[in-house]
Each structure stands twice: as C-alpha cells, then as structure tokens.
Amino acid sequence: MASILIVDDDVGIRTLLKDSLESDGHEVFGFISAEEGLEHLNRYDPDLILLDLNLPGIQGFDFLQKINAEKRSIPVVIITSNNDVGSAVKAMKLGAYDYICKPFILDELSVIVQKVIDSKVKDEHIAFLRRRTQYSDTERIVGDSAPMQEVYKFIEHVANTSKTTVLIRGETGTGKELVAKAIHYQSDRANKPFIDINCSAFNENLLEAELFGYEPGAFTDAKRRKKGLLELAHQGTFFLDEIGDMAVGLQAKILKVIEKQSFRRLGGTQEIRVDTRIISATSRNLEECIKKKTFREDLYYRLNVAVVTLPPLRERNGDVLALADYFLTVYNHEFKKNIQGFSDDVKSLLTKYTWPGNVRELRNAIEKAVLFETSDKITINNFKIAGLDSSKNINFLISSSNFNLPLDGISLREIEKALIENALISTRGNQSKAAKLLKISRETFKYRMRKYGINYGQNQMKLFV
C-alpha cells in the first residue's frame, strides 16, 4: 500500500483517480491547488505525488521545483493533456518521474504507480544490501564453547520458522542484539528491514508514538503524519530491545499487535496490517517482574514461545581468548595498527577475570588497549578493566600473578618484609610515601622497618636504585 497525494483542480479527474487508486488498496489524498498540496505535504509524507501542471495560483512547475529544492525524494508523476506533452517532458527534465496523458487509461496509471513502488522497494533493497555487507564484516558471532553451540542451534532453528515470536534473555553485554540480527539475516525475511527499538530509551508516550506512528492532530505536537516503526518492519523483523522496561499499558497494546498482526496509528481509524516477526530481548528477570506487577503475565506467555538464554562470558570456557583475538583484529584495522597479540600476564588476566559486563566489557577493554599500546603486544600497563583495579584486588592479584604458594609453605614475615622493601624502592626511600602505599601510618611503617631490620635511609635508597 502506498500513500498518494493528488494535486489537480479538476474535481472529475481527482475523483476518478482517487476511486481507482483506492480500489487498488492505496491511501489517497486529493488537493485542488499547489498551495493546498504543499501545505499537506508534510502532514501526509506521501510515497508518490500525481501533479497537474495547469493549476490556479502556484503552477505545477513551481510546485515541482519547491519539492526539489527541499531535496525530498518523493517521485512526482505529471498529469497532462495530450496536446501538451512538451510541458510534461520539460517537467521530467526538472526531475519529475514520469507523466500520463489525459484522457488516460486507468490500467496505465496502475502500472506507473506499481513501477514507482517497485523502484522504492529496490532502493530500500540496495540500502539493505549495503547494511548487510557491513553487518557481516563487523558483526560476526565469535566463540565455539559448548553453550554457544546451543545458541547457534537455536538461531538456525528459529531462523527457519519465520513467523515464530522469539525471546532472547541474558545478562548485559552477552550479545542479545547480535543474536537477534543473526536470526533475521539467516531467515527468509533477510532482504526486508530489521527495525529495532530500545524500550528503555523512551518514556511511555514517546515509545507508543514511535511504535505505532500517528495521524496529524493526534496530540498537540503531531503536526504531520508519521508512520510507526512497526509499519516500517513490514515483512521484516521487529526487535523490541529491553522489553522488560516497557510500561505495562503499552505491553497490552504490543500483545494485541502480536495476536492480531495489525494496529492503528495514534489518532487513526484505519487498521494497518503488518506481517513482521517480533524478537524481544531482556536482561531482566521477567518472572520477578510479573510478581512485582511490572510485567504482564499474558504477554510473558505469548513471548515465551521460542526462548534462548545467552551464557555469560564467565561460563564460556575458551571463548575469551578467541573473542580477544577477534577484537584485536577489529581494532588493529580500525586504528591502523599491527599489534600481534597479548603478553602472558594479560592472557592470564583475560581468562581469570569474571567479566560482569560480558562481551561488551571485553570489547571496550581491548579497544582502549589497542588505542594506547605502543609496543607490538598488548601489555598489562595498557590493559585496564573498568570496575576492576587489579592492583587493589588482593585475591585477584594473588591468583593471577606468578605468585603461587610453594608446596612447603612460605613465611608471612618474609612476605611482609619484602613488601616493605618494595614500597621503599618504588618511593625511592621516602618513608611517608611508602607507608601510604601500604595503607599504614608512618609510625607503624617505621616500627615494621625496625622489626625487620630494614634501615635504608633516603640517601642509601638513592644509591640502591
């Protein structure tokens, strides 16, 4: 279905065109003058304009030029009389898409309208193919661990059932959006749009307007008609991200869309049919949300048809290093660097850390490290993980450094003495600073120095270092 705007002062022609196009299933708005047409252009955002050249007031040519000047890519088809084809040709030079001669055969009109719609679809298809190439280059799913094998099986299975509603669960950063895209691009909807919206990014009213669109006058700011995102996802996939954050009132409306496969724009009366597969994702515990009455039970059951829970990175043995290598390649490319790998202590840190922010956290850590690294390997100095200052986490330090308790034990006194000496070395013998490093008072520090017979003064330390 296309939405078509007709500008012609001849009421007979307007009615004829309107009836014929409406019976082909299009939405048609007729206007008597270029002024009226221009005034309503924004409101209706048409897919096609049928334009008579001889109009009262502003002429068709000027109308065409105004549209061109605004760089709106709405195709305009000229309606002309047989003895004025010259003007129509001139209009095409000005950017009109085609022309039809009066008196016209209605079938001819249908053919032209279909041609316009097809070429629009073709443009969208090209844009899609462009996006898809980007997708396959930068959005691979990496990891061969056993839990990921299950995820791949799931993707393959649901990709083949292109109507099934899908729910993707998992902690933050586990790749829910990536999996949603993979399902779309492996399904037979792949060359249709993948439209996504993050439910937590909008308040209830805005989200509703985005999802369903609106007619002019539906609310104070609704000056022009806006199509809903659901409409744009026709024949494609609609990804509702963070559905657990959607307001309860809207949840009821989304449930209706899933069940009826149709909806109305806000302020609209027309029922718009959409054929779209809904994939939703959440990192929330929906069962808890139901108990707290922030999530509707009926929607939960409707969504809970094909469900996958993405494993957190800490449970994906072996994947961390594969992902790290992958992101190293990605960011080497992006920052035009040629870093060859990771130093051993970084590798050890990568595998021992628990990654609460999952793959996203890993990705960010590697991005920063690649950016700042100046040697040909990622070194520990440039490998910082937000939320974990490894130097302060004793357990982590002990388990990830080369320090392992010897089988026959070790003297705690020796370790304490070594730490005090170490602190003195790193502060070049400045006892106050060394005490601070070990988080003890200067008096306690001095006491321990005496206790262990350490008596380097500042001068000696200078020699020592």
Ligand X SMILES: Nc1ncnc2c1ncn2[C@@H]1O[C@H](COP(=O)(O)OP(=O)(O)OP(=O)(O)O)[C@@H](O)[C@H]1O
Which amino acid type is present at position 352? K
**Where are the strands (E) in 275-413, listed by range?**
277-282, 306-309, 341-342, 377-378
User: For the chain, how big is the Rg over CA atoms in Å?
Assistant: 33
When binding is defined by CB under 6 A, the residue of 14, 40, 169, 176 that contacts ligand X is 176
Q: How many residues bind ligand X (CB under 6 A)?
A: 18
When binding is defined by CB under 6 A, the residue of 30, 37, 60, 143 that contacts ligand X is 143
Contact 26, 44 (CB under 8 A): no
Residue 389: name its binding partner from ligand X, Mg ion, none (Cβ under 5 to 8 Å by kind).
none
What are the backbone dihedrals phi and psi of residue 227, each rounded to the nearest 5 degrees, phi first? -75, 145
When binding is defined by CB under 6 A, the residue of 30, 60, 75, 170 that contacts ligand X is 170
Residue nearest to ligand X (CB): 175
When binding is defined by CB under 6 A, the residue of 141, 232, 255, 258 that contacts ligand X is 141
Stretch touching Mg ion by CB under 5 A, among 67-75, 90-98, 168-176, 381-389: 168-176
Q: Which residues of 347-369 are buried (b: 16+ CB within 10 A; e: fewer)?
A: ebbbeebebbbbbebbbbbbbbb
| Smallest distance, ligand X to C-beta of residue 363, A | 5
The answer to whether 98 contacts Mg ion (rule: CB under 5 A) is no
DSSP assignment of 256-268: HHHHHSEE--BT-
Nearer to ligand X, 246 or 272 (CB): 246
Stretch touching ligand X by CB under 6 A, among 34-42, 176-184, 263-271, 341-349: 176-184
- β-bridge partners, 76: 49
Which amino acid type is present at position 351? T
Residue 423: name its binding partner from Mg ion, ligand X, none (Cβ under 5 to 8 Å by kind).
none
Stretch touching ligand X by CB under 6 A, among 86-94, 186-194, 258-266, 355-363: 355-363
Show the DSSP H helices in 139-223 as ranges.
Answer: 146-159, 176-186, 204-212
When binding is defined by CB under 6 A, the residue of 38, 178, 232, 255 that contacts ligand X is 178
Instruction: Tell me how many degrees the CA angle 87-91-94 measures, rounded to the nearest 5.
Output: 145
Residue 214: burial class (beta carbons within 10 Å; 0-12, 13-18, 19+): buried
The answer to whether 171 contacts Mg ion (rule: CB under 5 A) is no
Query: Rounded CA gap, 383 and 9, in Å?
Result: 71
The answer to whether 177 contacts ligand X (rule: CB under 6 A) is yes
Residue 142: name its binding partner from Mg ion, ligand X, none (Cβ under 5 to 8 Å by kind).
ligand X
Residue 61 CB contacts under 8 Å (≥ 6 apart), including other chains: 53, 87, 90, 91, 94
Nearer to ligand X, 61 or 331 (CB): 331
The answer to whether 177 contacts Mg ion (rule: CB under 5 A) is yes
Pairing mode, strands 166-169 and 3-7: unpaired
Stretch touching ligand X by CB under 6 A, among 66-74, 135-143, 271-279, 424-432: 135-143
Q: Other CB atoms closer than 10 Å to residue 41's CB: what's the count?
A: 22
For 235: left if phi > 0, alpha if psi spans -120 to 50, otherwise beta; the answer is: left
| Smallest distance, ligand X to C-beta of residue 335, A | 16
| Residue carrying the six token digits 């096609």 | 48
Residue 316: name its binding partner from ligand X, Mg ion, none (Cβ under 5 to 8 Å by kind).
none
When binding is defined by CB under 6 A, the residue of 19, 139, 259, 376 that contacts ligand X is 139
Distances (CA, A) of 279 to 45, 87, 181, 228, 435: 28, 51, 9, 17, 57
Mapping DSSP to helix (H, G, I), strand (E, B) and coil, where does residue 425 land? helix
The answer to whether 308 contacts ligand X (rule: CB under 6 A) is no
When binding is defined by CB under 6 A, the residue of 20, 81, 172, 343 that contacts ligand X is 172
- x-or-dash string of contact with ligand X, 280-299, rule CB under 6 A: ---x----------------
The token duo for 423 is 């602190």
When binding is defined by CB under 6 A, the residue of 30, 173, 213, 228 that contacts ligand X is 173
Stretch touching ligand X by CB under 6 A, among 51-59, 75-83, 134-142, 286-294: 134-142
| Smallest distance, Mg ion to C-beta of residue 424, A | 49
The token duo for 174 is 């586990």
Q: Rule CB under 5 A: which residues touch Mg ion?
A: 176-177
Q: Rule CB under 6 A: which residues touch ligand X?
A: 139-143, 170, 172-178, 283, 323, 359-360, 363
